[in-house]
Chains A and B, each alone.
Chain A
Amino acid sequence: MKQLKVFRSLVKDGFDVVTHGTKNYHLWMGFLTFMMLVGMYCYSIQLSEGLSVTGMTDRVSWGLYISNFTFLVGVAAAAVMLVMPTYVLHDVDFKQAVLIGEGLAVAALIMCLAFVIADMGGPSVLWHMIPGIGVFNFPNSMLTWDVIVLNGYLFLNITIPFYILFRHYQGKEAKSKVYVPGAILSVFWAVGIHLVTAFLYQGLQARPFWNNALLGPRFLASAFAAGPALIILVLAIIRNFTEFKIQDKTLKKIAMVVTVAAQINLIMLISELFKEFYAPTHHSESAYYLFFGLHGKDALLPWIWTAIPLNVLATVLLTFHKLRNNPKILYFSCFILFVAIWVEKGFGLIVPGFIPGPYGKIAEYTPTGIEIGVTIGIWALGAFIFTILARTAIGIELGQLRYRKDK
């Protein structure tokens, strides 16, 4: 009963915190709300007209939604790079950042689920997928594995920080015995969500572009580069706009993680390129389409040739200690790395899987305005959720939010 009372008070205090702030904060939240409304309007059109309002066709049947979903799974998985050092290896330098990382994972996972639902032809019959009520084709379908791991990871990433914050809110110390088992589990789970998502594509013998053993490991490498890169950017913003102290040491350590992951990612990219282009087979056509275009169809060229140089540049910049230790260069590299991997793991991975089609037909894909609207709406939703979570968490961690403090 007491716990419930504390919880009620936490919700009330949290609500107070997230509804009060500077003018810039209100502008930011207003902007996100507006974008979400735009996204909802676009989605309502899609609901009434069907998926024909998107750029997807029978030839390219997954597009922007699934691309973003794939990328965001990686962002969510990246929280593990902060969780492991903090809770398992007891590295105190990460302690400040870890709650932010977990908040980011929650926001990313909610965006993932939103993208999957946006991509569904029949969202009203999604209950068919609920085990027990519907028919859950487990373990045959990798999609059911994905449903399990994503929801499980979401659960872990909500409960662990919530427990810690809930204790801190009451001015008590969080018992490590309670949350460390969960944290250790979430480390494996994070690897799991990304590997399972890669298997979703990797297991399809129909699509040679995806059906290669490197897809899963490369997913992990790129995720552990892009995710922590985003965390660095977010921490930099938080450091600037709030009193939440994040030491340089923390940022430097996360930057190290980003660097190593980006380097491994680049090695794997070279390995992939070598395999596709040294002795090209019939199965290399998708890669040819992606990098050089096929039969005059080259819609993806600008994307991939933006992503690759940005990726290389960021990795090179990060590799040199001197450059990496300069905050301005660090933020810049993290930003371009994030963009590069978004293109590469999104558009650059999903769309060429369908081109050329099973019989060599090349039909290109361009997202429509409505599709882009829904996508932006979902990103705004993610940012909105993250802002709320981060503000509450920071409030509690700074001691501004305490149970019965002012009563």
Chain B
Amino acid sequence: MSRSNKKWFSLNLGRKQHDNSGSCGCGKTSGGCGSHSNDSEMSEEEFYNAAVDASIGDEREKDGFDQVFDVKMDRRTAFRKLTASLLIGAGAVNTSCNVLSSDESKEKAQIDWEEQFKGNYKLMTDDEKKGTVDRLVRSYQMRTGKTVSMSSKNAEEDVLFGYAFNISKCQGYMDCVSACVKENNQDRNSQMQYIRIHEMKDGEGLKFDEADDNYYHEVPAEGHFYLGTQCFHCDNPPCVEVCPVQATWREDDGLVVVDYDWCVGCRYCMAACPYDGRRFNWSKPEVPEEEVNHNQHYLGNRMRKKGVMEKCTFCVQRSRAGKNPACVEACPTGARIFGNLLDPNSTIRWVLENKKVFRLKEDLGTEPKFWYFMD
């Protein structure tokens, strides 16, 4: 994605410019314009290695289970790591070395051990990503007897997701909210919802403070209009900056995601988000087994645990598979539009080019990829 090709106004408040080493003047990142002919002289593998080096470089060796244990280290670091592991892993070792316990419980202990000490998903290689996904699938199978399909699909090239919301069309049915909860396996006990629909009075403009975002009456209510908010997947997300462990980040296709297993639960990102886009698991999230959506993505709707952050991912398990997010699909009025901002023929681009669009709290310089418009 090259930023100079943006089709919308950008405040650019001293934001860092990322140079994509692979891009060229034609705006494409892969071959096709002719100036990439050199690439063909490199073998696939060489190119892959060079690309990985360019994108993550040293970070590759910084952390992660394999990342840590495959690197050379001096005696002191090794010793430190071993002691730390020893304390927490003692129980797991005990089970896995116990001759009396079954193979299955040994495998379980092995998985728990590796999951406890795995690295940050953001810094993993594709193989490591696949490894942790396989472990999680196996672990779920052993615990519940059910099989889930979990994807670790990366962002595709030349894709930048964007979203538009038609205020004139929304009638406040909240079908999007229930579809979202179902799709994303949100905790049913605390009634966690990523989307909030604000009911506002006609003729008073966008008065959020007087709006009702928790209504229980027949809609559309006379003299009211409706506006939905969720995570806006900012291009300059404040939540990402503040995370002390880089457990949340912006993917190349613009999705702001969370590694639930890396999050330490400090909730600094929640304080930093100006859009109320983040949710915390205050207790162990529970979804009745028969309601669990088995089509999952590591960064999306896989089962969460207690004490970690989560948020809307534009249904990464669907959007990266070429489908619309659940909220878009569920909306009965067609108020929600989702698509690839880099595709000139997409509906979202048509909306941005032909409608008077605006975003919320633009003065904060967060650059949301979520626009509002009216018919």
Is A121 touching B190 in the complex (CB atoms < 8 A)?
no
Is B271 touching A120 in the complex (CB atoms < 8 A)?
no
Interface residues of A in 128-144 (CB under 8 A from B): 128-129, 132-137, 140-144
Question: How many angstroms from the CA of A135 to the CA of B179 in the assembled complex?
Answer: 35
Is A132 touching B282 in the complex (CB atoms < 8 A)?
no
Q: List the B residue with the shortest CB-CB distance to A350.
A: B271
Is B266 touching A134 in the complex (CB atoms < 8 A)?
no
Is A359 touching B209 in the complex (CB atoms < 8 A)?
yes
Known: A122-B307, A134-B245. A206 touches B272 (CB 8 A): yes
Is A359 touching B264 in the complex (CB atoms < 8 A)?
no
6 smallest CB-CB distances across A and B, nearest first, come from A121-B265, A360-B209, A121-B307, A206-B274, A52-B282, A50-B283
Contacts of A353 in B (CB 8 A): 271
State how many angstroms separate the Cβ of B34 from the closest Cβ of chain A: 39
B90 within 8 A of A: no
Q: Which of B62, B123, B247, B264 has the most CB of A within 10 A?
A: B264
Contacts of B246 in A (CB 8 A): 135, 137
Known: A121-B263, A121-B265, A143-B266. A357 touches B276 (CB 8 A): yes
23 intermolecular pairs with C-beta atoms under 8 Å apart = A50-B281, A51-B282, A51-B283, A57-B282, A58-B282, A61-B280, A116-B266, A121-B263, A121-B281, A125-B263, A128-B120, A128-B262, A133-B81, A135-B63, A135-B123, A137-B244, A137-B246, A142-B242, A200-B268, A204-B242, A354-B271, A358-B273, A359-B213
A356 within 8 A of B: yes
Chain A contact residues: over half helix, strand or loop, or mixed? loop
State how many angstroms separate the Cβ of A50 from the closest Cβ of chain B: 4
A147 within 8 A of B: yes
Which of A50, A61, A137, A144 interacts with B271 by CB under 8 Å? A61
Contacts of B123 in A (CB 8 A): 135
Question: How many angstroms from the CA of A258 to the CA of B273 in the assembled complex?
Answer: 37
Count the A-B residue pairs with Cβ separation under 8 angstroms: how many?
Answer: 150
Q: List the B residue with the shortest CB-CB distance to A128.
A: B245
Is A51 touching B276 in the complex (CB atoms < 8 A)?
no
State how many angstroms separate the Cβ of A64 from the closest Cβ of chain B: 14
Contacts of B262 in A (CB 8 A): 125, 128, 135
Question: How many angstroms from the CA of A120 to the CA of B283 in the assembled complex?
Answer: 13
State how many angstroms separate the Cβ of A364 from the closest Cβ of chain B: 15
B99 within 8 A of A: no
Contacts of B364 in A (CB 8 A): 205-206
B369 within 8 A of A: no
Interface residues of A in 249-275 (CB under 8 A from B): none
Residue-wise, chain B 238-271 has the 8 Å CB interface mask toward A (1 for contact) of 1001111111000000000000011111111011
Is B245 touching A137 in the complex (CB atoms < 8 A)?
yes
Contacts of B281 in A (CB 8 A): 50, 121
B140 within 8 A of A: no
Instruction: Number of A interface residues at 8 Å Cβ cutoff, please give it.
Output: 49
Question: How many angstroms from the CA of A357 to the CA of B271 in the assembled complex?
Answer: 10
A244 within 8 A of B: no
Is B308 touching A136 in the complex (CB atoms < 8 A)?
no
Q: Which of B80, B120, B270 has the most CB of A within 10 A?
A: B270
Question: How many angstroms from the CA of A119 to the CA of B364 in the assembled complex?
Answer: 28
Is A58 touching B280 in the complex (CB atoms < 8 A)?
yes
Residue-wise, chain B 260-301 has the 8 Å CB interface mask toward A (1 for contact) of 011111111011111110111111100000000000000000
Question: How many angstroms from the CA of A116 to the CA of B208 in the assembled complex?
Answer: 33
A56 within 8 A of B: yes
Which of A122, A133, A359 interacts with B84 by CB under 8 Å? A133
B359 within 8 A of A: no
Q: Which of B245, B281, B364 has the most CB of A within 10 A?
A: B245
Residue-wise, chain A 40-65 has the 8 Å CB interface mask toward B (1 for contact) of 00000000011110101110011000
